[in-house]
Amino acid sequence: LPSGDIREIKRGDKPSHQTTAFINPRTENPNDFLILNMETFEFELMPGLNKKNKNKAQKTLNILQLNTRAKLIEARKNAAISYFNRMERLIKILGSDTITELKSNLNPHEERFNFNQSLEHIKTNIKDSFKHNIQTYQHPSVWYAIKLQYKTYADQDERYKKWEDIFEQLPEALDW
């Protein structure tokens, strides 16, 4: 309802209004409603939401069981680990002084690059590949939360300090 209250309707009945009680990721950014707690890997309501948006966020959490399905929570945690490992390895690759050293830092399952180019050109191609991979990897809410929270908690939590170190070495990743 326009007031922000939720009214249940029976399946097949037409609602009396067009306001939905569910976040529509096609037309709304879920990050405007929810923030991922990086301790528990559960979603919390974004502070400052009005009644309508609080109800919408809570209904989405409840219906999709985003905080009650253990597999989802574990997948978010694994995504955080994967994001960190990728970024840490990318920094190591970008710090390579020779093509031989660079090749030794690549995963055997990664995209193959043209090693007949200059070292800097290869590094640029690899960075672009990692960027694309980060931007299309599952659980983008984890990446969003990392970027949003790392600076705030770096003084309080060693995990965030490690992220701060990553973003100091590769600041453009904050735009990925």
DSSP 1-44: -TTS------TTPPPSSS--SS--TTTS-GGGTEEEETTTTEEE
pTM: 0.82
Tell me how many degrees the CA angle 82-43-164 measures, rounded to the nearest 5: 45
The closest of 124, 170, 123, 130 to 147, measured between CA atoms, is 170
Residues of the chain with pLDDT under 70: 1-20
> pLDDT at position 9, please?
59
> Residues 7-24: pLDDT tens digits?
565 666 655 555 667 898
The bridge status of strand 42-45 relative to strand 34-37 is: antiparallel
CA dihedral of 70, 76, 81, 83, whole degrees rounded to 10: 160
H and E: helices and strands count for the chain: 6, 2
Residue 6: what pLDDT?
60
pLDDT, one tens digit per residue, over 102-119 is: 999 998 887 788 899 999
Please state, as a whole number, how many other Cβ atoms lie within 10 Å of the Cβ of residue 85: 10
| pLDDT at 1 (0 to 100) | 47
- Tens digit of pLDDT for each residue in 90-101? 999 999 999 999
Q: What pLDDT, on the 0 to 100 scale, is given for residue 108?
A: 84
Task: Please tell me the distance from the alpha carbon of residue 91 to that of residue 166, in angstroms, as a whole number.
Answer: 8
